[in-house]
Amino acid sequence: MAHPDDPDFHYDEWSFFGENCSEFDVVLPESVPAARVTFGDGLSGIRWGAGSESLVFLHGGAQNSHTWDTVLLALGCPSALCLDLPGHGHSARSPDGRYDPRSNAATIASVLLSELMAPVVLVGMSLGGLTANALAATHPDLFRRVVVIDVTPGVDRDKARDIHDFIAGPQSFASFGEIFDRTVLFNPTRTAASLRRGILHNAHRMDDGSWEWNYDRRSMTAGDMAPMGSLWDDIAATKMPYTLARGLDSPVVDDADVAKLREVRPDANVVEFEGAGHSIQGDRPMELAALIQRELDAR
């Protein structure tokens, strides 16, 4: 494969599944049932499997729907819809630059209300997790179970400092080597191969050879995080089984957050992942896939 800085390099979003599988000893299907889908309101995503969806995945801020590739491959490519959040991946940017959880939820609900044939398991990470809370609170009939990955409304600027500092860095880089080196610096738990393909899914080469992130950074780099205390009300309003997946190497969720969650939802299930930082799907995809399979099997 050509180096990303080579003028002959061509990005093909479907060409990396073999890497995902070889890194985690997953059997690569002869044909991976994944296709890009775009909806009328500007949302885009990846539809996996065949038939009506059993899962919906929402990624974190500054990510995109390919963050779930290894998890979906480990699950055997079930029917699932992985959406690019507004302003991320292939989805359109918001005219007002608002990508808060409730704004995201309102946009995504308009798609899911017409797409889902039966209640699904909803999986959301970080910003996608807070968005999942808002979706589950306002549209409970769409979801039979919720899995939120390494976030609660207790997150603040200090807990998310490393994430914020990474996102608040440069928008463009002179070469792929520069964007890669900075990404490695901020993601010490990830393999070089996974970070390389993650960047290729999340950035693009400009005509002058420089590289630029795909996601809209307007609301992600301005000042402190907005207060999130009211978002606990979203969790309190949920009624379906609720699971928090917590990366034990991540500062984003602490013991006080878990205690607050159990106050708001006494029946919440908390699953801890050793050796995982904030992005559990990147650090421990096989273990996360096993958790999601249990959620799918539960009735």
Which residues carry out catalysis? 126, 150, 278
The single-letter code of the amino acid at 189 is T
Two tokens at 36? 């890009």
Q: Which of 86-123 are b and which e, b meaning 16 or more Cβ less than 10 Å from the residue's Cβ?
A: bbbbbbbebeeeebebbbbbebbbebbeebbeeebbbb
- Cβ neighbours for 32, distance < 8 A, ≥ 6 positions apart: 14, 17, 73, 77
Question: Around Cβ 243, how many Cβ atoms within 10 Å?
Answer: 20
Q: CB–CB of 258/170 below 8 Å?
A: no
Q: What is the DSSP letter of 29?
A: P
Of 143, 148, 147, 140, the C-alpha closest to 53 is 143
Determine the Cα–Cα distance for residues 124 and 136; give it in Å rounded to an integer: 11
